[in-house]
Structures are given as structure tokens and as C-alpha cells.
């Protein structure tokens, strides 16, 4: 099941989350507060991104299932089951967003989408 919170936000912003993961975490940890914290997190989500000089230190690769809708994110297939997706976190790494070529363009850097072999972060979104 996917939760689409687009209707909550009046800006051009779509937030998607796999509710099965939230349910599994709540059951595994025996923590009923997981759902409440998740909702608080979604409602407090900001679509803003830091400038490139700050963002470049907050870029990481994330392993994601190839069954996920990777959309326009900068990603590379690693196997039939796993893709490597370029992500941006906030400073305390509590929020993760997938980086798109459009985001790189707004930073004033070029992107290399779907490069093979998997690119380094430096070459996936760079100023050169």
C-alpha cells in the first residue's frame, strides 16, 4: 500500500511512503508510537532543499528494491532486485529524498542519470 500525501500540501510536492514498512516497524518494535511519529514527520515535511554547497555533503546512495517506483530519480540497477538511488538527507539524517536531474539543475550542477557502472556521488551530480 502506498500513501500519497499530495492532497495535504498546496505546493507542487508529492510525498509517498510504503505503509507496509510502517506497519512492520510498529509490529517488530512493539511501538504504537511509530505511526504517530510518521504522521508528524510527513506533516512537518518541507520540500525545500539546501544550496549546493551544503547539499553536496548530504548526498548518499541508498539501496532500494527495483519494484519501487523510482520515478525520475537518479538511479542505477545493481541487480534484478536492487537499485542504487542517489539521496539527499538533512543534517541529522532524519529525512531522505531521492535526487532528480531537475534538482541537480536547480543546484546549477549537471546530472548523469542511469549511468553504468554505478557512478560515484561526485559524478552523479557534479559542477564539472
> CB burial class (10 A; 0-12, 13-18, 19+) of residue 38?
middle
Beta strand 110-111 with 125-126 is antiparallel
Q: What is the pLDDT tens value at each position of the chain, 128 positions in all?
A: 444 444 444 445 566 677 787 888 888 889 888 888 877 766 665 566 788 888 989 999 999 999 888 888 999 999 999 999 999 988 888 788 889 898 888 888 887 654 444 455 555 555 55
Positive or negative, the CA dihedral 92, 96, 97, 103 is positive
Indicate the domain borders of the chain.
Answer: 1-47, 49-128
Amino acid at each position: 500500500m502506498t500513501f500519497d500525501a499530495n492532497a495535504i500540501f498546496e505546493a507542487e510536492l508529492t510525498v509517498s511512503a510504503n505503509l507496509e514498512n510502517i506497519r512492520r516497524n510498529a509490529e517488530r518494535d512493539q511501538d504504537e508510537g511509530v505511526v504517530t511519529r510518521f504522521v508528524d514527520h510527513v506533516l512537518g515535511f518541507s520540500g525545500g532543499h539546501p544550496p549546493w554547497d551544503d547539499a553536496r555533503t548530504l548526498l548518499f546512495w541508498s539501496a532500494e528494491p527495483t519494484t519501487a517506483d523510482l520515478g525520475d530519480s537518479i538511479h542505477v540497477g545493481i541487480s534484478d532486485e536492487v537499485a542504487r538511488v542517489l539521496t539527499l538527507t538533512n543534517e541529522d539524517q532524519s529525512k531522505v529524498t531521492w535526487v532528480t536531474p531537475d534538482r541537480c539543475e536547480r543546484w546549477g550542477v549537471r546530472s548523469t542519470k542511469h549511468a553504468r557502472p554505478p557512478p560515484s556521488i561526485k559524478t552523479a551530480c557534479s559542477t564539472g
